[in-house]
A and B are shown apart, each in its own frame.
Chain A
Amino acid sequence: MKPLVLLSRKPWIWSFVAAFIVWSATILFTGGASTIGLSQAALTFAAFSILVGIGQMFVITLGPGNIDLCVPATMTLAGTIALKFMQVDDSLILPGLFIAIAIGVAVGIGNYALIRLLQIPPIIATLSMSFIVQSTAIWTNRGLRIKPPETLASFTTETTAGIPNVALVALTLSVCAFALLHLTVYGRWISAIGQNIRAARMAGIPVDGARFVTYVLCSVLAAICGYLLASFSGGAALNMGSEYLLMSIAVVVIGGTAVAGGNSNVPGIWGASLFMFLVVSMLNTYGAGAGIRLIMTGLIIIAVIVVAGGRNPHQR
């Protein structure tokens, strides 16, 4: 009984409960036939949301007003340029990854430069940055769809011991993010900044430095996600990032991270990402039309947030 009570106090548990219920409902409807296929698909697609979600979570932890709306554009630009650079050549896979990361770093620097030097609120700074980045992507891409190198394409689409490779990548990065958040000085700093930015400054925390690193980190994760997603879907497309704008924010919120900042959690992003994919596939399985599907998705998200919010003792 006691462990159950303790578990129910964790803000992230509700996203997992919701994901499990939706998963079971879908499996029951199909009579168990699609168990493995559905689970693998869920893990694969959730992996991309997890990567961008973690980056967004770090930014949201910085407190009210902090958000990165440049995520989709960064994904597109990183995917486009990396694939163009690799020229379907297997030997350039790693250099391509580095190029994607470098693009992430550059976008992150640009974002924080706008926020800090021009004193623009993050929501507007990152939105304007996303126009610049997206236009650069359009300019480099010129409507061509470049294929990824063979080895990279198969890596992103295959599984290891039944688990999709991209999910393993997401798991590795999640563990790193968890450690960064809970074990390091940097993790303490961003949590402190999110709770009370003035107190953080007066406690000797280098507020600008920590915020800068966080915005860069978010862009780098988005760039890695773009690199993997472009390889997974057989080429970079200009609209490949668009659905990840709301997705990255939704998984953070459903996952139980405090929107007001200062309190974040990594496990919740997994539950929320799985849940977001499973809801859509459940409604698809039930044969719901596009309109109904969107309405239902919205209602279910609201329901999860209400339930999780009502039980969260740390809620402010």
Chain B
Amino acid sequence: MTTAPLPHAVIEVADVKISFGAVKALDGVTLRIVPGECVGLVGHNGAGKSTVVNIINGALSPQEGTIACAGERVPRYGIAAARANGVRCVFQELSLCPNLTVIENTRIMHGTLKGWGWRRRAARIIGSKLDEIFPGHGIDPTDTVSDLSIAQRQMVEIATAFSQVAQPVKLVILDEPTSSLDATLATQLLGYVRSFVTAGGSVIFISHILSEILSTSDRIVVMKDGKVVTERPAVEFDEHSLVAAMGSVVKGHDREKRAEGAAGRTPLLSRPSLHGKGLPFEVFPGEIVGLAGLGGHGQTDMLIDLYLGHTSNWLRRREAEVAFVAGDRTLNGVFPLWNILKNLTIADLAGLSRKGIVNETAEADLGHAWKERIDIRTQDLDNPILSLSGGNQQKVLFARALATPAPAVLMDDPMRGVDIGTKQEVYAILRAEADKGRAFVWYSTEMDEVCLCDRVYVFNNGVIVAELKGDAVTEKNVLAASFTGIAA
């Protein structure tokens, strides 16, 4: 890290810490962006890249640490202060209003466009910027955004961020800007970024495509677990060393990985390759199978498809084949009006009832057994589910799935927001259950968890691009496979 007293850092965050509940999103991050440089920011999911971006664009306030602009400390740094200091952000999720025109969206981002004739001025500003970045873009500023393609919307978003209306644009944060652009457009954008930087602007560039990072950035910052682990000029990296820098030291595991051959055994669950692309999926009894790859590349969709395919919407089968542990608790996990016990037993009512009548004694016994086994921290299982902390709610959801007799358990990144102590408890239970012959399909965005699995399928763009077995399941291999294109 350079400590040379460069006088005019556009923005400097120093020793910033922020935590969400038990999770330390940022654990003392220091980042200094000077004019005329493009900083590449890399790291796997959950490393804290988006949190840093949100600190710099003012959406989040750090719990500790300082933010300085142009050498002066800004005590109340927020979205307004960020914009006033020329910080712009292109978001990963598109943020345009689909029902408005391109002109009107420009007006939303640039509040100073007002008075008579603002539409004309906005059209000129956005139109010329689009021409500059993406020559031959084919977008009419009077088009409604919902009529544009995803790539065109991304182009409008990028052009809006680079447009200068009142304050000069000093720093533009590009968070995965090329994910919806094709190769030609991506090249145009990267070319523009270089010319913007040469003209004295600064860019923070986040991408999972390492070649882009290497070719465009002057300096690369590697993050892991909320910390900056490496910070070096881009020329000192190649793709291999960058992947290595993103990973951590491989820890020893106490569990023997099952790597016995699958030949002759029938899988519990299976799915053919999608539209002939990628690899087929299968899981055998007693296995822990991991789904890895970057977030949102089809892992959750496959879990939900598998679950819906093995349960009925009309009649309850007596013997459940699969159980599901939700990662997004509020969306598809918790029943908010109920107490802990009812939330825990809902998936196993078939086993707790006779002729449709729930046996409440058996239900309470099951609840208490799991309260002990998985250590749900509450005095009384009759307390409302929402009285529990997030981690303990997650334990209830684990218990819900594990209490069923289902031979296969699907887990959709269930450790999000769970503290390390709980994780260790749950890992131990998973191993014990797997040794009894249960199969687990485990989607996780955390590399340590992926490395606990016997076998790992790596996803990219909705298809399985690689299968890693036994000792081949290492952080390095998983990361490398995540950046592989579709093989077939």
Contacts and interface: CB of A to CB of B under 8 A. Distances in A.
Do A and B interact with each other, yes or no? yes
A217 B74 CA distance: 64
Contacts of A207: 313
B331 interface: yes
Contacts of A195: 335-338
B142 interface: no
B99 interface: no
B136 interface: no
Interface string B336-351: 1110001000110110
A192 B345 CA distance: 12
12 contacts: A184-B353, A185-B349, A189-B349, A191-B338, A192-B338, A192-B346, A199-B335, A203-B346, A204-B347, A206-B313, A258-B337, A262-B335
A206 B314 contact: yes
A192 B316 contact: no
Contacts of B326: 199, 202
Contacts of B211: none
A152 B468 CA distance: 75
A185 B350 contact: yes
A202 B332 CA distance: 7
B323 interface: yes
Given A184-B357, A200-B335, A262-B335, 18 more contacts: A185-B356, A185-B358, A192-B335, A195-B337, A195-B338, A196-B334, A196-B336, A199-B326, A202-B324, A204-B311, A204-B323, A204-B404, A206-B316, A207-B313, A208-B314, A209-B312, A209-B316, A212-B314
Contacts of A198: 331-332
A199 B334 contact: yes
B307 interface: yes
A201 interface: yes
Nearest to A183: B357
A201 B313 contact: yes
Contacts of A205: 316, 346
A187 B45 CA distance: 41
B148 to A, nearest CB: 28
A120 B56 CA distance: 46
A196 B358 contact: no
Interface of A: 183-186, 188-189, 191-192, 195-196, 198-209, 212, 258, 262-263, 314, 316
Contacts of A202: 304, 307, 324, 326, 332-333
A314 B326 CA distance: 25
Interface in B369-412: 400, 404
B358 A183 contact: yes
B123 interface: no
A199 B358 contact: no
A209 B400 contact: no
Contacts of B333: 196, 199, 202
B315 interface: yes
B313 A208 contact: yes
Interface string B295-307: 0000000001001
B138 to A, nearest CB: 36
A301 B323 CA distance: 45
Given A198-B331, A208-B313, A203 B338 contact: no
A186 B316 contact: no
Given A185-B350, A188-B342, A196-B334, A203 B324 contact: yes
A43 B465 CA distance: 70
Given A203-B324, A204-B347, A196 B335 contact: yes
B320 interface: yes
A314 B323 contact: no
Contacts of A196: 332-336
Nearest to B326: A202
Contacts of B304: 202
Most chain B beta-carbon contacts within 10 A, residue among A188, A209, A316? A188
Given A196-B335, A203-B347, A209 B314 contact: yes
A196 B393 CA distance: 15
Contacts of B312: 206, 209
Contacts of B337: 191, 195, 258, 262-263, 314, 316
A204 B333 CA distance: 12
B356 to A, nearest CB: 5
Most chain B beta-carbon contacts within 10 A, residue among A195, A201, A204? A204
Nearest to B322: A204
B75 to A, nearest CB: 39
Nearest to B314: A209
Nearest to B353: A185
A212 B404 CA distance: 25
Given A206-B313, A209-B316, A263-B337, A186 B332 contact: no
Nearest to A196: B335
Contacts of A314: 337
A209 B338 contact: no
Contact of A204 (B320, B342, B357): B320
A183 B308 CA distance: 27
Interface string B12-49: 00000000000000000000000000000000000000
A189 B311 CA distance: 15
B349 A188 contact: yes
A186 B356 contact: yes
A316 B336 CA distance: 10
Nearest to A179: B357
Contacts of B349: 185, 188-189
Nearest to A263: B337
Contacts of B308: 201
B356 A184 contact: yes
A184 B315 CA distance: 16
B307 to A, nearest CB: 6
Most chain A beta-carbon contacts within 10 A, residue among B316, B337, B350, B358? B337
A185 B315 CA distance: 13
Nearest to B335: A195
Contacts of A188: 342, 346, 349, 358
A212 B313 CA distance: 11
Contacts of B323: 204
